[in-house]
């Protein structure tokens, strides 16, 4: 009888070689932190990834706004590996104001859970401006960028820093595709004053056990932010990076008053739509 050929070793599944086999599978995210810029999205991501049932992508993939043409397989390839019991989360705050994002996410999965971290739109705008100023010191003043005509109180809604805070307007696009029950709003203010309470609600929304509690946080007086006693990967305390907690530019109180007046109707509409009063007035 002819000698039997030795059995071929099984071909490893695509994406698993080379290197040591890590358990789990790369999955498309079941939950996405879709907004808003300067609202507290990084804090939510860093806090939620402490949970053993959550794996999060550390960087912002910008798939549904800038990289959509690369396709879902490219997007999936960026994701951390998860076990069946774990959920995959990513955050890209610019999705909230991207016209195509709701439809694109819906087309990936209509079940996707969406998290939106919101914050007083006036302070959010000042924070946004402060961040831009740190990168481009020659930009015009905050006042100059905020108004088309200041004496008439005409706000320039084309300036991104102003536009992002018109939450009620952006939310309408999302509600064309997703029910409110699939969108969870985190208060950026409460995230600082009561991180455990806000993260408790996030865990409930994600359908995972309330593992992250008061015991996980301490308040760092220098930064003015809550920090984690232990991070996901080490037993050392973990505060958000140097770029967080910048001192805001001083703005003329009258300008702040005009912007509060501008945002008020949008805020009220937002509270009514989501059934939650964020007390920004």
Whole-Å CA distances, 179 to 148, 171, 176: 36, 11, 8
Q: Is 193 marked as a binding-site residue?
A: no
Cα separation, 121 vs 101, in Å, equals 21
Q: Is 40 marked as a binding-site residue?
A: yes
Q: Is 41 marked as a binding-site residue?
A: yes
| Integer Rg of the chain from CA | 22
Q: Is 38 marked as a binding-site residue?
A: yes
Q: Is 7 marked as a binding-site residue?
A: no
DSSP, residue by residue, 155-188: E-TTSHHHHTT-HHHHHHHHHTTS-GGGEEEEEH
Cα separation, 106 vs 240, in Å, equals 31
- Which sign does the torsion angle of CA 216, 193, 91, 199 carry? positive
Q: Is 247 marked as a binding-site residue?
A: yes
Could you tell me which of 28, 73, 15 has the C-alpha nearest to residue 55?
Answer: 28
Q: Are 165 and 121 in contact (CB under 8 A)?
A: yes
Q: Is 229 marked as a binding-site residue?
A: no
Catalytic residues: 38
DSSP symbol at 3: P
Q: Is 244 marked as a binding-site residue?
A: yes
Q: Is 248 marked as a binding-site residue?
A: yes
Cα separation, 58 vs 36, in Å, equals 17
Query: What burial letters (b/e) apply to 139-155, b meaning 16+ CB within 10 Å?
Result: eeebeebbbeeeeeeeb
Q: Is 62 marked as a binding-site residue?
A: no
CB-side exposure of 155: number of CA atoms within 13 Å? 20
Q: Are 115 and 31 in contact (CB under 8 A)?
A: yes
| Annotated binding-site positions for 3'-phosphoadenylyl sulfate | 38-42, 119, 127, 244-248
| Annotated binding-site positions | 38-42, 119, 127, 244-248
């Amino acid at each position: 009888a002819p000698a039997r050929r030795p059995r071929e070793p099984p071909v490893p599944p695509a994406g698993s070689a080379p290197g040591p086999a890590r358990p789990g599978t790369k999955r498309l995210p079941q939950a996405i932190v879709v907004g808003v810029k300067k609202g507290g999205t990084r804090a939510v991501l860093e806090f939620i990834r402490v949970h053993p049932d959550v794996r999060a992508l550390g960087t912002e993939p910008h798939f549904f706004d800038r990289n959509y043409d690369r396709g879902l397989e490219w997007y999936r390839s960026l994701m951390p590996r998860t076990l069946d019991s774990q959920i995959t989360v990513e955050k890209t705050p610019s999705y909230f104001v991207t016209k195509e994002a709701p439809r694109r996410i819906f087309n990936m999965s209509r079940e996707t859970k969406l998290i939106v971290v919101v914050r007083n739109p006036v302070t959010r705008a000042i924070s946004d401006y402060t961040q831009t100023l740190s990168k481009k010191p020659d930009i015009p003043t905050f006042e100059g960028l905020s108004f088309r005509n200041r004496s008439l109180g005409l706000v320039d809604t084309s300036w991104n820093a102003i536009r992002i805070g018109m939450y009620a307007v952006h939310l309408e696009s999302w509600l064309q595709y997703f029910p409110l029950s699939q969108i969870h709003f985190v208060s950026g203010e409460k995230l600082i004053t009561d991180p455990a309470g806000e993260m408790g609600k996030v865990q409930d929304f994600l359908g995972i056990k309330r593992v992250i509690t008061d015991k996980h946080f301490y308040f760092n007086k220098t930064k003015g932010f809550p920090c984690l006693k232990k991070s996901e990967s080490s037993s050392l305390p973990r505060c958000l990076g140097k770029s967080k907690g910048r001192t805001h530019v001083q703005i003329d109180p009258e300008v702040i008053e005009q912007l509060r007046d501008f945002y008020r109707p949008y805020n009220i509409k937002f509270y009514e739509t989501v059934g939650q009063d964020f007390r920004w007035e």
